Amino acid sequence: MTYMFEKMQYIKQNMLPSARQKYPRYQLFAYGEGGQAEMFRDPSTPVQGVPVLFIPGNMGSYKQVRSLASVTYRMGHHRSLTTQFDFFSIDFNEEMYGFYGGNIRLQTEFLKDCILHVMSLYTNPRYKPTKVVLVGHSMVLYGIHSCMYASITMPNEKNK
């Protein structure tokens, strides 16, 4: 069990209207504790850490990111690291996808949109990431694998 040192907060991210319409059951959240979470509420506050996207497994909850994020925040604080990690988590509505390929396809497409959204939050060129750390739980490996190898293009590529 992980102890929370400050108030945990899940801040719903405003995805593009096209993504909200295409994936009405899915959502993306930023996770933070205490004052660290406030940068995700105010769009004028620059986001400048290392983006980490947690993807829950079969029937998993987006709230499972809490333990990993809290321990990472504490370790960084105690070790006085200059780099922080910004945690995001996908809510797949705790769907069962281990037995139905249609859900895997939709979730993989939503994962791609989430990666693009997370990268778009980093507006300062100095802190603009070229990669997002993906952390998956359980059977989510299939979605991550599909996203990495199924010709899904990213913004810097020629075929948007």
Q: Which of 18, 61, 120, 138 is catalytic?
A: 138
Question: Any catalytic annotation for residue 138?
Answer: yes
Q: How far is CA 34 from CA 67, 70, 86, 111, in A?
A: 15, 11, 13, 27
Check if the beta carbon of residue 71 is closer than 8 Å to that of residue 18. no
The closest alpha carbon to 104, from 64, 135, 145, belongs to: 145
The closest alpha carbon to 28, from 137, 117, 106, belongs to: 117
CA angle 107, 13, 125 (to 5 degrees): 100
Distance CA 47, CA 157 (A): 23
Distance CA 54, CA 63 (A): 9
Three-state DSSP state, 116? helix
Q: Catalytic residue numbers?
A: 138
